[in-house]
């Protein structure tokens, strides 16, 4: 079997190569460069250090190694999506789009199609049932990354391998240390590359600029501060508002009037909701329900967290609605609601919150 291993230089993807060799495979290692050195507003990525580590891994395990560039594709898809979403007042998820459009999209079209499988260091697993491949959660529920994979298609997931999905993070680090991998003690990366070393607000400012607006207390309508543009603020945000006497949380935004509404306190009712409407919902493997009436019991997530929330999902036309058993904090348009089977923890699919 021919396997392409996507290796970033972190401990997780490094151990992927070790495990593949243990399984008897001889993977071809790919390092994907997505930094935008040639673009205005250079996006700095630690690619030199990454490549040194990946080169060491390739030599240690005798693997063929290729560095491939997806600068332009990354810019035109993930970065463009992020900027446009923020401009519309939405909360984007670049990591999810990077998986769907770059790692398992453009990479597959340009290089991955030559291989039987693509292996990554995601904390996830796959389950075979009824002759189909289903995306399933990882052994390590704290590190589980199926939320970020919630937008992949069946064609994509049926080709993926997750060699560390059956391990805890601590076990991954133990394997790396035992085999003297240079990434053994390396810190985990924080999100996608362009959000790693570059200040997020500076990045957004470069493309959307600044525009002073009001910060208004939701309950009273009182003006309590000013901001430099609604696009710098996300629903549920607490830090960075510059307000005294808090804690203050961003509750909603008026895009047309450039107003950010906030509420004070950790438990204010305005932070929470029980109803989540999803548009463009797509199933990864297949629709297990068909045309159903009433509600289906599910678990779900609206962000990357260890916890699953129980609820029910109903359908009206193309709109899916989740009714949560418990109030959910910070429901924001533009986020994705990822739905799981109640019992098996199989990831069924996702839709964008509206």
If DSSP codes are grouped into helix, strand and coil, which group holds residue 245? Answer: coil
CB 330 within 8 A of CB 236: yes
Phi, psi for 148 (deg, rounded to 5): -70, -10
The residues carrying an active-site annotation are 98, 193
Residues whose CB is less than 8 angstroms from the CB of residue 126 and which lie 6 or more positions away in sequence, other chains included: 133, 134, 135, 136, 157, 160, 161, 162, 165
Q: How far apart are the first and last CA of the chain?
A: 43
pTM of the model: 0.91
Q: How many CA atoms lie within 13 A of 159 on its CB side?
A: 22
Q: Give the closest residue to 27 by CA, choosing from 50, 2, 56, 46.
A: 2
**Residue of 234, 242, 191, 248 lying closest to 330 (CA atoms):** 234
Domains in the chain, ordered, with CATH?
3-121+163-197 (3.40.50.620), 211-266 (2.30.30.280), 271-353 (2.40.30.10)
If 0-12 CB within 10 Å is exposed, 13-18 middle and 19+ buried, where does residue 314 land? middle
* Amino acid 37: pLDDT: 52
Q: What is the 3-state secondary structure (H, E, C) of 70-107?
A: CHHHHHHHHHHHHHHHHHCCCCCCHHHHHHHHHHHHHH
Q: CB–CB of 319/336 below 8 Å?
A: no
DSSP element (H, E) containing 296: strand 296-301
Distance CA 2, CA 222 (A): 63
CB 300, CB 338: distance < 8 Å:
yes
Taking residue 70's Cβ as centre, other Cβ atoms within 10 Å add up to: 22
What local confidence, expressed as pLDDT, does residue 48 receive?
A: 84
Q: What is the pLDDT along the chain (354 residues), one digit of tens a residue?
A: 999 999 999 999 999 999 999 999 999 999 999 865 544 444 555 578 899 999 999 999 999 999 999 989 998 999 999 999 999 999 999 999 999 999 999 999 999 999 999 999 999 999 999 899 999 999 999 999 999 999 999 999 999 999 999 999 999 999 999 999 999 988 876 554 544 455 678 888 989 999 999 999 999 999 999 999 999 999 999 999 999 998 999 999 999 999 999 999 888 888 999 999 999 999 999 999 988 889 999 999 999 999 999 999 999 999 999 999 999 999 999 999 999 999 998 999 999 999
Residue 333, pLDDT score: 96
């Amino acid at each position: 079997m021919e396997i392409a291993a996507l290796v970033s230089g972190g401990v997780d993807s490094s151990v992927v190569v070790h495990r593949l060799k243990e399984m008897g495979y001889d993977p071809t290692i790919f390092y994907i460069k997505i930094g935008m050195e040639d673009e205005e507003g250079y996006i700095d990525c630690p690619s030199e250090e990454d490549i040194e580590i990946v080169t060491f891994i390739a030599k240690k395990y005798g693997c063929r190694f290729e560095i491939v560039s997806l600068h332009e594709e990354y810019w035109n898809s993930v970065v463009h999506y992020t900027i446009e979403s923020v401009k519309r007042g939405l909360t984007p998820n670049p990591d999810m789009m990077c998986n769907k459009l770059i790692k398992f999209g453009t990479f597959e079209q340009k290089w991955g199609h030559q291989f039987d499988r693509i292996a990554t260091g995601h904390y996830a697993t796959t389950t075979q049932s009824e002759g189909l491949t289903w995306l399933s959660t990882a052994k390590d529920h704290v590190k589980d990354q199926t939320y970020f994979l919630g937008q992949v298609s069946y064609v994509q997931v049926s080709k993926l391998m997750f060699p560390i999905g059956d391990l805890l993070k601590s076990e991954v680090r133990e394997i790396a240390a035992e085999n003297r991998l240079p990434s053994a003690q390396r810190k985990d990366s924080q999100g996608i590359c362009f959000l790693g070393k570059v200040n997020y607000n500076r990045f957004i400012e470069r493309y959307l600029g600044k525009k002073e607006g009001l910060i208004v207390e939701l309950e009273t309508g009182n003006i309590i501060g000013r901001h430099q543009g609604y696009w710098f603020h996300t629903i549920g945000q607490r830090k960075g508002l510059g307000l005294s006497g808090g804690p203050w949380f961003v509750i909603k935004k008026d895009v047309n009037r450039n107003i950010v509404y906030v509420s004070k306190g950790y438990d204010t009712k305005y932070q929470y909701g029980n109803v989540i409407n999803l548009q463009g919902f797509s199933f990864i493997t297949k629709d297990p329900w068909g045309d159903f009436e009433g509600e289906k019991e599910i678990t779900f997530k609206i962000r990357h967290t260890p916890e699953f929330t129980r609820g029910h999902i109903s359908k009206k036309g193309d709109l899916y609605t989740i009714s949560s058993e418990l109030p959910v904090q910070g429901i924001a348009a533009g986020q994705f609601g990822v739905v799981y089977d109640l019992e098996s923890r199989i990831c069924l699919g996702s839709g964008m919150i509206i």
